[in-house]
Amino acid sequence: MGIDQTVEKKTEGGGEHINAYKKRINNALSNDFLRSAMDKFAIAYKESRKNAFADMDTGVDELIAEVAELKKNAVMKNSELLVQFRKKAEECGIQVHMAATADEANRIIADIAKNSGSRKIIKSKSMTAEETHLNHFLEKENLDVTETDLGEWIVQLRHEGPSHMVMPAIHLSRFQVADLFSDVTGKNQDAEIERLVKVARKELRSKFLEADMGITGANFVIADTGTIGIVTNEGNARLATTLPRVHVALAGIDKLLPSLKDALTVAKVLPRNATGQRLTSYVTWITGPSECKTTPSGKREMHIVLLDNGRSKIASDPDFAQILQCVRCGACANVCPVYRMVGGHQLGYIYIGAIGLITTYFFHGAENAKNIVQNCTNCGACKAVCAGGIDLPRLIKEVHTRIQDEDGHPLKSLMLAKVLKNRKLFHGLLRAASVAQKPVTGDTPYLRHLPMIFAKDHNFRRLPAIAKIPFRDRWESIKKEHQSAESIKAVAATSEKSDQKNQKNVKDNDKNIIRVGIFSGCVQDFVYPEQLEAGILAFSKYAQKDKKIILEFPMGQSCCGLPALSMGEKDAAKDVAIQNVNAFKGLKLDYIVTLCASCASHLKHAVPLLTGSILGKSATDFAEKVMPFSQFIYMTGGMDSLNAVDLQDSGNGQNMLKNIDRKKITWHSPCHLCRGIGIKDEPKEILGRTGHEFVKADEEETCCGFGGSFSVNFPAVSREILTRKLNDVEETGAEILVTECPGCVMQLRGGALNQNRSFKVVHLAEII
Amino acid sequence: MTQMDIVTEFKKKTSMVSSMVHEAQSIQDALEIAVSVCVKKSPAMMTNSSSETPHTGDSDSRISLMHGKTMAALDLDEDKLKILAKLCSDNNIDLITESLRNHGTGIDVGITTADYGIADTGTLVVSSDSEEKRLATMISEIHVALLLKSNIRPSALAMCEELELLTSKPSSYTAFITGPSRTADIERVLAIGVHGPLELHIILLDDIEK
């Protein structure tokens, strides 16, 4: 991307236009170096993170829970810790400054420089200083500021912002750096990394020796001793706090922790999560002005500037207080499928990655957040690695909603909300569309020609047509079929157990009856009803033979509400959530089973949050019963019967797999199944017993790029994520790709067809 | 975990972060190792990088232009210093014990003691309140640290109280050092020695009863 792009971005009033943003994204997508660098990083990171956590006495999740808890407590006690720290720090001789805003912090630091007669300043890496645009401010005050972290120095020389929180120059190649260093030194520099690093060492060492003042950030601000902790690999923060006669540390008030023990606990996670290191090369603990031989007093002048910039307001916000639990490791970017495609300059403003999509709104305003906040597939990969235990995907949607509430909702999102709130209108429109689409489907199951407004960007995958008869209209006959299948099964079961005395008990014993409500979700109801039909067949086929399944399909159910939430229409999402809870109320169901992983995750986690205050217990009762298809099959004892079917002919007519056409199959784990619900192995175990040959695909838990409205808003990014996924699948040589979410099926099947891939895509229900 | 196990773990983890570990049976032995590290070392990098001479007019660079090697020792007691001085003069090495700031562009080897080792991360804890000691661990191209085996702890959290004693002192400056200075800022390729030492040698002094 162009050198001045970020600068331009910052100064634009009212924020960047969405089309300009999309243009930048397209540029990034066609930047081959960026793409391959990001891709390599995404793969390597997962491995090194795993290794770094591997030999610990506590598990990753427990450790993260511990960090989240201690950060949460520190946020709650923040004002108390502030008073304590200030007292301690002042006793140690640190001058403590409180800055309410970014400008105030910059002003304070410029004044410190002036009052101490400092002109040459060296800086070690600080995201907080990036947040306040400190360098820009100091340069305007005629101060000479040099970044000394290698990556930060590179981006400073290029007049860019960092593209990653811990690897600021990850978007640049060695050749770009060599050109840059050739300019800086006035000598031709080879593009050899080892040598380039030495050039930086030499150039920057003389800057260190000349500097009057050193500015650092702080990873930890410890209240009970007045200590700050700084984490680095290069050692530049050590030189910056040792050679110059003045040291200024700038830190957000969210860095306050009660004690060293807390800091050491966070330090266990921070480097492991950030770069897959057990510990960085240096962790420096500074308690007050240390010895400095060039000053008359023999001590360095030391200041700490504690920045609020909206943090105390965030701390009192029940939804967002948890974002202050962030330890700035950057892991949320490392695992983000969108980040991987477009890089940090396109997926953040100053703060990068999932946390950046959220904090930009608070620290840099809605105008800088409004576009990036939509660039999220809602895959939950960030949440799964977050060192601070932050519910990032939910809060990204929450920011989107808030921005729309403030700035007005766009027409298409308003219309969607309006339509969704009225189920009959919504379903009526879908039925009408089923007829109206004929000219574009040519009566095939796909939309053959997209209407002009969609055509250009969206033809990267074939979109399915709307089914002629939705599931809800087929329900009565399906129900009858299911009932007869159940009675055949019961007969078979009783004949098998003919030696048992009381056969009737088998049939009517309450313990053996499983009452299941089907939640279809819109996609399976109106686009892929055949998946639901296959699923219902599978219920009878695979459940334990002495179990009787009774199905219900309440007609009052509507869309789960996830699409509304994705588009920032929280009110509509709440409305449909209430409709759905009420539709299933009073049916005395044991489970509410859905074949859509996204619906499952949304119903289970978001619905109680959205409606809990209105519906109380009935919302949590509803959520507890929700279960994805594979988990239900696995749990109802289906595994044993699958085994039986697979291994021996039981001779009762149920052996569907006896003459199976054995195929090579692989699995794509829907984000909302593996991370949303935590179901990872069950579907694969089921697949392993189908008689087909199962091959594991690389990165089977990485998003397919669908993300509902995401793929509509950012088709180019969606296409690239999809292609990456399809490549991994093709690599396995599988003939069939199985997944468990109709959204993924839509994306993957449409993409595979469009790209002439050699495999077909089916829902789990369709293969078992 | 016995102390021996902890030492073994420490050695394993330090080697994983490119530190070099040596075992010494005595102080004499340890200092001989340190001096041999200096002898084997190629001349100070600052004057040789990018195949060019250092900036003219930079008063500090004159020092690094000198051909002999320089070793800095900051916190050794008199007896150890005497041994080291002898070894240095035998090997034509300049030994400095103060004013490291005047050697800002580079010292070949800085030798310091380390207060503790942390086994699970392969870390040294160096209490470096004095500027000289701090600089010795930063501007030297090779940092050699002497560490008593008995001062190795299983983890940072397990020695929280000892660390609190070090870090709670006003004007204290405590360093955790885990391997040499490193960066992966260009194409995520690991490069050693960006600002601090290019090598870290740890000499373990055996003071454990077997």
Residues 38-57 on B with a CB inside 8 Å of A are 45-46, 49-50, 52, 54-55
Helix or strand run (H / E) with residue A718? helix A715-732
Pairing mode of beta strands B107-113, B123-127: unpaired
Nearest CA in chain B to A259: B164
Nearest CB to B194 within list A201, A222, A241: A201
Q: Are A752 and A373 in contact (CB under 8 A)?
A: no
Nearest CB to A291 within list B130, B178, B187: B130
ipTM reported for the complex, 2 dp: 0.92
Is A243 close to B167, i.e. CB distance below 8 A? no
Is A167 close to B58, i.e. CB distance below 8 A? no
Is B157 close to A242, i.e. CB distance below 8 A? no
Helix or strand run (H / E) with residue B201? strand B199-205
Partner B contacted by A694 (CB < 8 A): no
pLDDT given at position A453: 55
Partner A contacted by B18 (CB < 8 A): no
Partner A contacted by B104 (CB < 8 A): yes
Q: Are A370 and A21 in contact (CB under 8 A)?
A: no
Partner A contacted by B89 (CB < 8 A): no
Is A195 close to B49, i.e. CB distance below 8 A? yes
Nearest CB to A281 within list B49, B55, B177: B177
Q: Concatenated DSSP letters for B114-129?
A: -SEEETTTTEEEEE--
Helix or strand run (H / E) with residue A593? strand A591-594
Is A243 close to B101, i.e. CB distance below 8 A? yes
CA distance A599 to A593: 10
Q: Which residues contact B33 (CB under 8 A, 6 or more apart)?
A: B22, B24, B144, B201, B203
Instruction: Tell me the mean pLDDT in the region B159-177.
Output: 97
* Domain residue extents for chain B: 3-44+65-205
pLDDT given at position B63: 41
- Residues A626-658 pLDDT 10s: 999 999 998 886 555 555 444 434 444 344 444
DSSP letter at A113 equals: H
CA distance B108 to A507: 86
Is A193 close to B187, i.e. CB distance below 8 A? yes
Residue B59 pLDDT > 50: no
Torsion, Cα of A666, A667, A668, A670 (10° steps):
170
Residue A155 pLDDT > 90: yes
Instruction: Tell me the mean pLDDT in the region A664-687.
Output: 95
Residue A620, by phi and psi: left (phi above 0), alpha (psi -120 to 50) or beta?
A: alpha
Domains (range + CATH), chain A: 77-312 (3.40.50.10420), 471-767 (no CATH)
Residues in chain A, overall count: 768
Q: Are A593 and A584 in contact (CB under 8 A)?
A: no
Q: Which residues contact A292 (CB under 8 A, 6 or more apart)?
A: A242, A245, A298, A299, A300, B131
pLDDT band at residue A497 under the 50/70/90 scheme: low
pLDDT band at residue A416 under the 50/70/90 scheme: confident
Of residues A552 and A546, which shows the higher confidence score? A552
Residue A643 token pair: 């085994």
Q: How close does chain A come to B123, measured CA to CA in Å?
A: 8
Q: How close does chain B come to A100, measured CA to CA in Å?
A: 27
| SS3 of A226-294 | CEEEEEECCCHHHHHCCCCCEEEEEEEHHHEECCHHHHHHHHHHHHHHHHCCCCCCEEEEEECCCECCC
| SS3 of A449-494 | CCCHHHHHHHCCCCCECCCCCCHHHHHHHHHHHHHHHHHHHHHHHH
Is A150 close to B171, i.e. CB distance below 8 A? no
pLDDT given at position B104: 85
Residues of chain B found within 8 Å of residue A282, distances taken between Cβ atoms:
175-178, 181, 196
Amino acid residing at B3: Q
Is A40 close to B105, i.e. CB distance below 8 A? no
CA distance A5 to A79: 39
pLDDT band at residue A445 under the 50/70/90 scheme: confident
Nearest CB to B196 within list A168, A238, A267: A238
Please give the backbone phi and psi of residue A320, each rounded to the nearest 5 degrees, phi first: -105, -5
User: B3-44+65-205 adopts what CATH topology?
Assistant: Rossmann fold (3.40.50)
Highest mean pLDDT out of A52-56, A418-422, A627-631? A627-631
CA distance B132 to B135: 5
pLDDT band at residue A496 under the 50/70/90 scheme: low
pLDDT given at position A448: 72
Nearest CB to A201 within list B16, B104, B195: B195
